């Protein structure tokens, strides 16, 4: 932190961190600002010149705000011209002065000082000054930008292409993408404080898992109920069909089962402490879809 001793220190306005309501910006000014007399509250504290403060606002608006349309588009014009319609176009967003106040958490006076600086920087000159609205023009309106998911869409497309055309089961690109999407998911919680990932197994609320299999023939169903150890265990490699997560002949755990119309599904509870290959034999028809 440094003392202000330049020739302009007495003439240029300063704003201190205490007059800035936006927490991130206020903390930045408090940590890195120079000691100066704030013209807005009269206190001497960590501060920025009003031009430096305008720099911060300009950067924030470029990243997080967009200037809204000056007038209605063609469809909105037709709706407004329709005598049977009650539609009336109003410009979206807030006037620039209000947007600056809300974004920085400042009073009207410093917001007007910032707006005048930004108008001088961006104001159109010559004939364009009367034809086009410029950034931070007196009539300009701004609204916050929504989340931009374009990058995620592009990465997902690359991920899909990698699985389809490159290396489906051993793809470094796919691995990196999945790590970026799901990394740390076990630490996330829902809005009401519940974890997204639930523990299952001994000494947990989810003490059992179920294995199920679809049967469409009555004789096969009866055979499975008579010998669940043979028909409800992991499928033999010859019966393991290719799926989204596995190749033909490789059995994997999946969490979905969709019996066809009139099909039946038999489920088997897997006791958590049962030795491998000798899982419990509690079986019951779990689901039957009606015909039609």
Calpha distance 49→29 (Å, rounded): 10
Calpha distance 35→46 (Å, rounded): 5
Quick check: 284 pLDDT over 80? Answer: no
One domain for residues 67 and 129: yes
One domain for residues 220 and 267: yes
Output DSSP code: residue 204: S
The 10s digit of each residue's pLDDT in 45-95 is 999 999 999 999 999 999 999 999 999 999 999 988 988 888 899 999 999
One domain for residues 221 and 253: yes
Q: What proportion of the chain, given as a percentage, has pLDDT over 90?
A: 34
Calpha distance 32→28 (Å, rounded): 6
Range of the domain at 282: 209-288
Residue 223 domain flag: yes
One domain for residues 56 and 134: yes
One domain for residues 38 and 129: yes
One domain for residues 102 and 154: no
Q: How is residue 24 written in tokens?
A: 């991130």
One domain for residues 111 and 53: yes
One domain for residues 132 and 103: yes
Give how many domains the chain has, as a whole number: 3
One domain for residues 220 and 274: yes
Calpha distance 253→243 (Å, rounded): 11
pLDDT at 27 (0 to 100)? 94
The 10s digit of each residue's pLDDT in 194-217 is 888 888 878 888 877 777 778 878
114 vs 163, more confident: 114
Residue 92 domain flag: yes
Domain boundary among 144, 161, 195: 144
Strand-pairing partners, residue 249, are: none
One domain for residues 121 and 52: yes
Calpha distance 47→26 (Å, rounded): 9
One domain for residues 57 and 85: yes
Q: Is the entire prediction scored with pTM above 0.75?
A: no
Q: How is residue 50 written in tokens?
A: 């009003």
Q: What proportion of the chain, given as a percentage, has pLDDT over 70?
A: 75
Residue 265 domain flag: yes
One domain for residues 100 and 220: no
């Amino acid at each position: 932190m440094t003392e202000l001793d330049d020739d302009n220190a007495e003439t240029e306005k300063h704003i201190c961190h205490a007059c800035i309501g936006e927490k991130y910006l206020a903390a930045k000014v408090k940590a890195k600002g120079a000691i100066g007399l704030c013209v807005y509250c009269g206190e001497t504290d960590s501060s920025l010149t009003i031009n430096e403060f305008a720099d911060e606002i300009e950067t924030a608006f470029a990243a997080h705000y967009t200037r809204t349309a000056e007038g209605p588009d063609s469809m909105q014009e037709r709706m407004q011209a329709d005598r049977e319609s009650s539609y009336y176009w109003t410009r979206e967003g807030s006037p620039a002065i209000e947007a600056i106040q809300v974004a920085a958490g400042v009073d009207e006076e410093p917001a007007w000082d910032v707006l005048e600086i930004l108008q001088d920087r961006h104001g159109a000159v010559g004939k364009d000054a009367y034809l086009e609205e410029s950034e931070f023009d007196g009539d300009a309106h701004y609204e916050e930008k929504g989340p931009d998911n374009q990058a995620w869409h592009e990465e997902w497309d690359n991920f899909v292409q990698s699985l389809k055309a490159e290396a489906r089961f051993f793809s470094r690109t796919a691995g990196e993408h999945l790590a970026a999407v799901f990394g740390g998911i076990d630490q996330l919680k829902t809005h009401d404080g519940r974890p997204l990932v639930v523990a299952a197994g001994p000494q947990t609320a989810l003490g059992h898992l179920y294995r199920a299999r679809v049967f469409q023939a009555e004789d096969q169903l009866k055979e499975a109920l008579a010998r669940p150890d043979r028909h409800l265990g992991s499928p033999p490699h010859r019966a393991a069909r290719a799926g989204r997560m596995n190749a033909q002949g490789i059995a994997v755990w999946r969490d979905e089962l969709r019996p066809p119309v009139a099909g039946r599904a038999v489920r088997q509870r897997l006791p958590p402490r049962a030795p491998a290959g000798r899982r419990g034999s509690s079986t019951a028809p779990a689901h039957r879809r009606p015909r039609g």
